[in-house]
Amino acid sequence: MRSLQERLSVVEKHVKNDDIKIMIIGLGSVGAYLLDYLISKNDTAINVVVVGRDADKMQTKVNITRIAGLIRGVNKSHIEVEGGVDLNDIAAIQKAVEKYKPDFIVNSSRAYPGLKYGSISWANVRAYGIWSPLAIRFTKNVMEACDKADTDAIVINTSYSDAVIPWLKSAGKAYPDFGSGNLNHLVPRMKFAVANMLGVKDYWNVDVMFAAGHFHDVCISKEGQTEGVELPLKVYYKGEEQKNLSVDEIYKACHITMPVDQTRNMMNASSNYQIITAIIDAIRSGMNQKVFTPGFDGNIGGYPVLVGYKDGKLDAWIDESVFSFEEMNKADRASMALDGVEDVVDGKLIYTDALIEKAQKAFGKTLPKEVPFANIEKTAQWIIDEIILPQTEK
C-alpha cells in the first residue's frame, strides 16, 4: 500500500468529483449503525458496499435501513451487498476490494461476535489488553488483502486499535490508518461535563485536548477516576482555556449511566462516521478537522489527530499544538500498561506481569508473556477455548 498522504490524494480527487465509495466489512451492530448514519448524511456523492459471508442476512439489514431512511427523507446513497466473503479467506477479501475500489474501508468485524469482552475481563482482571490477539485476528487478514490489492482506500479499524495498529506496524505489515472508538467515546462526556460545570448550554463550543489509552476510556467512563495517573488534559470554552476547572471533577462527571448491550456500539459507529466525514469535510472546506483516534501511525494508545492541508497537500498528523508527542506517548503507555499491554515491539505483543498474574488467579490459565505475530491465530483460539467458553458456559 502507498503512503497515507498518497492515498489521501486519490480520495481527494474522488470527493471533489462527488464519487465516494465506502466499504463496510462486517455488518454486525457497529456496521449496521454506521450504514444508517452514512445514508442519513443524505449525500448523493456517497455510495456504500457492505461485505461479509451471508448476503441474505446482510440484505435484510440493508433493506430495513434503506426503507427507514427513505421514510425520514434522508436516503440518497446507493448500497450494494457483496456476500460470500469469509474473513479467514484473504483472497476473497482481496477480490472484493479490487472489485469495488473503495475510498474508505471500515473493518467492523469481530473474531468472537455477540460477546461484550468487558463483561468477562473488567470484573476479573480489570484490563482489556487480554483480548488483543482476538482483536487483531481478522484485522491482519483485512490488511493483508488490502496490501495485495494495493488499495488506495483509507482503512479504519474498530477493535482495540490502541494495540492492534502498532502490532501490525511493528511486524512490518500493512496497518489501518485510523482506529475508531476508545478515546473517542470519552471526549464527548468531557464536553458535556465541562458545559455543566460552566453552567452553559452550548456544549458544542467546548473543546478538549486529551490523550490516553484504552484503559482510561473505560476507567474514567465507568468510575470517574484515573487510577492515580496524571493525563494530558486541557479544556476550552469558545477558544479560552478553562484553567479553574478541576480535572478530577471533570473525570468524576464523565461517569454517567450507559447501556451495557449492543446499543453501546452506536458510539463506535459514530466514531467511524466522524473519521470519514472529517476527511470529506477537510477536502470540501479546506479547514483542518480534529478527531481523537487510537493507534494512529502505529503509535500505542490514543491521540488527537488533525486532518487537513499541509503545504497544499492533504494529510493527517498528531496534533502537538498543546501537548508534545512525548507527553502524550508517556501517558498512553502508562494507560496501556494498566490495560495489560506492557509493549508492542518487533511484531510481538507483550503482556504485563500483573495481567498474567490476575488471569492465572481469575481463570486458572497462564497467558504467554509474549505473543509473536506468527502465534496470533493459535493464541486467539486458545483464549476462546480456555477463557471465553468456560466463562460463558457457567
DSSP letters, 100-160, are H--SEEEE---SSTT--THHHHHHHTS-SGGGHHHHHHHHHHHHHHHHHHT---EEEE-S-
Cell digits for 137? 485476528
Q: Largest Cα–Cα distance of the chain, in whole Å? A: 59
Cell digits for 106? 471500515
pLDDT for the residue numbered 254: 98
pLDDT for the residue numbered 113: 80
Cell digits for 213? 489509552
Name 88's Cβ contacts closer than 8 Å, sequence gap at least 6: 138, 141
pLDDT for the residue numbered 156: 98
First-to-final CA distance of the chain: 45
What is the Cα–Cα distance from 250 to 192, expressed in whole angstroms?
Answer: 9
What is the Cα–Cα distance from 147 to 173, expressed in whole angstroms?
Answer: 9
For the CA atoms of 8, 12, 14, 15, the dihedral, rounded to the nearest 10 degrees, stands at: 120
**What single letter denotes the amino acid at residue 337?**
A
What is the Cα–Cα distance from 181 to 217, expressed in whole angstroms?
Answer: 9
* Contact indicator for 377, 137 with CB cutoff of 8 Å: yes
Tracing cell 486541557 back to the chain, one arrives at 234
Tracing cell 508492542 back to the chain, one arrives at 344
Q: What is the pLDDT of residues 333-384, one digit of tens each?
A: 999 999 999 999 999 999 999 999 999 999 999 999 999 999 999 999 999 9
The 3-state DSSP class for residue 88 equals: coil
What is the Cα–Cα distance from 262 to 391, expressed in whole angstroms?
Answer: 19
Instruction: Kindly give the confidence (pLDDT) of every residue in the chain, 394 residues in length, as a single tens digit, with 9 standing for 90 and above.
Output: 999 999 999 999 999 999 999 999 999 999 999 999 999 999 999 999 999 999 999 999 999 999 999 999 998 999 999 999 999 999 999 999 999 999 999 999 988 887 888 889 999 999 999 999 999 999 999 999 999 999 999 999 999 999 999 999 999 999 999 999 989 899 999 999 999 999 999 999 999 999 999 999 999 999 999 999 999 999 999 999 999 999 999 999 999 999 988 899 999 999 999 999 999 999 999 999 999 999 999 999 999 999 999 999 999 999 999 999 999 999 999 999 999 999 999 999 999 999 999 999 999 999 999 999 999 999 999 999 999 999 988 6
Cell digits for 14? 474522488
